[in-house]
Structure 1
Amino acid sequence: MGDRLQGRVAVVTGAANGIGAGCARIFRQEGATVIGIDREGADYACDLTDEAATQALFRCIGEEHGRIDVLLNAAAFAVFAWIEDLSYADWRRTLTGELDIVFLPTRAAWPWLKASGSASIVNFASANARHALEGSPALAHCAGKGGVQAMTRQLAMEGAPHGIRANTIAPGFILTAATRRHIESDPGFERQVLAKNMLKRLGEPEDIAWCATWLASGEARYVTGADIAVDAGATAW
């Protein structure tokens, strides 16, 4: 057990699976009081694209704890399709699942983040926020993650007078239950990922969680508006 987040109140969305679950686990290990949110399987069940439900949940959390020191927005969903096959409904669904699902919890948490005086927002961008990925039918996802990156820079500016820092992490390929299924269905995909990685291994949720822990802690008190690639060097060449 560590103490890098001792005494910090951290809300983690998407906490039941993948990167969100890894971050929640490491945050607890480092001493934080963690409130996990997901559709199911977390401390609180909530549809974070429902404005009224999200507002009510964060009011409950804020009133119980008096403040929120860390908000990590890991919840997301997207539809991947080439533009010729991407319906307008799926385009809008993806932007809801990439942008609204960050905006609504952040707005609902804002008064409680201000109450912290030293709060940290950690959002998730992607290599797709900065450039296209060959062979990836990710048009809506690219737009969503680019929006998250831009939104986070703005949040950094708006939050600075209140002691709120906001940063993004851009993960590389991370092994989760969902991505393992993709690898199993396409044996050549793992080779493609490793060929791009400078470090010849696949990432795990904990690799992202340790970066998030640093951003959530006082160690990163001078860091805001940044985007940090955690991707085995895949976007560095």
Structure 2
Amino acid sequence: MPDRLSGKVAVVTGAAAGIGKGCARIFREEGAAVIGVDLAGADRACDLTDETQVSALFAAIVAEHGRIDVLVNAAAFAVFAWIEEMTLAEWRRTLTGELDTVFLPTRAAWAGLKASGAASVINFASANARHALDGSAALAHCAGKGGVLAMTRQLAMEGAPHGIRANSISPGFIRTEATGRHLAEVPDLRDRVLAKNMVKRLGEPEDIAWCATWLASDEARYVTGADIAVDGGATAW
């Protein structure tokens, strides 16, 4: 179905790489007016952990477009370390990178989302929000993504009276620049991931972006407060 997002104003954070880049590309192909946000390499540069920068960015977007129909919170960063090795600073940095980068853009976009009257917020939890992966030092990442899962349900409740839907996607292991480095650091990690998957391949950003496209479209107008696993079956057994 071409032009599934025709006429929609979509803001995609983390748009310079990985899942965010995949979402921004496919949204454009499906007809959306996309504003990509990242530290660099996107339409708009912004530190999404800086309250002042985020507020100014979204005020400018709403002033220019009048509304925001879709907000994709794909930006995130995390420190991977075992609990005995992780510092408090690294723990806090990860929770900032997983939670503040969802909270601050969503709060700043809220007035624009309300102005849409039929808006969609798409967050990214993770298979790691539901299970641990043997061999992956993902303690803080798991905590952050569990928080995104819970936050999304609350946003769905708060947004419903304003025509704002909020859902999350829980990706499995997706091949990106960041996970590529992780695979290189842990030689047997790929085998551990595939052993858990029903589908015996690693995911690609497009696998997630197509799910996000559906959630952004009017086809999903009755879907809110949901979490959709796109993980090759990893959490199904």
Aligned to 1:193: 193
SS where residue 224 of structure 1 aligns? Answer: coil
In 1, Cα distance between equivalents of 2:111 and 2:196: 42
Aligned to 1:120: 120
Aligned to 1:16: 16
How many angstroms does 1:201 deviate by? 1.4
Aligned to 1:61: 61
How many angstroms does 1:46 deviate by? 0.4
Q: Are 1:141 and 2:144 an aligned pair?
A: no
How many angstroms does 1:82 deviate by? 1.2
Aligned to 1:210: 210
In 1, Cα distance between equivalents of 2:110 and 2:63: 13
* Letter matched to residue 96 of structure 1: T
How many angstroms does 1:190 deviate by? 1.8
Identical amino acids, percent of aligned pairs = 78
Q: Is the 8 A contact 2:54 2:105 kept in 1?
A: yes
SS where residue 120 of structure 1 aligns? Answer: strand
Q: TM-score, normalised by structure 2?
A: 0.97
Aligned to 1:25: 25
In 2, Cα distance between equivalents of 1:113 and 1:181: 35
Aligned to 2:41: 41
In 2, Cα distance between equivalents of 1:115 and 1:26: 24
* Letter matched to residue 65 of structure 2: H
Aligned to 2:129: 129
In 1, Cα distance between equivalents of 2:32 and 2:62: 15
In 2, Cα distance between equivalents of 1:181 and 1:106: 29
Alignment of 1:80-119 (within 5 A): 80-119=80-119
Gaps of 5+ in 1: none
Gaps of 5+ in 2: none
In 2, Cα distance between equivalents of 1:220 and 1:88: 40
What's the Cα RMSD here? 1.2
Aligned to 1:152: 152
In 2, Cα distance between equivalents of 1:172 and 1:95: 19
1:68-103 C-alpha deviation (Å, 9 max, x unpaired) = 000000000011111111111111111110001100
In 2, Cα distance between equivalents of 1:22 and 1:206: 6
Q: Is the 8 A contact 2:135 2:189 kept in 1?
A: no
How many angstroms does 1:184 deviate by? 4.0
How many angstroms does 1:185 deviate by? 4.6
In 1, Cα distance between equivalents of 2:218 and 2:189: 38
SS where residue 168 of structure 2 aligns? Answer: strand
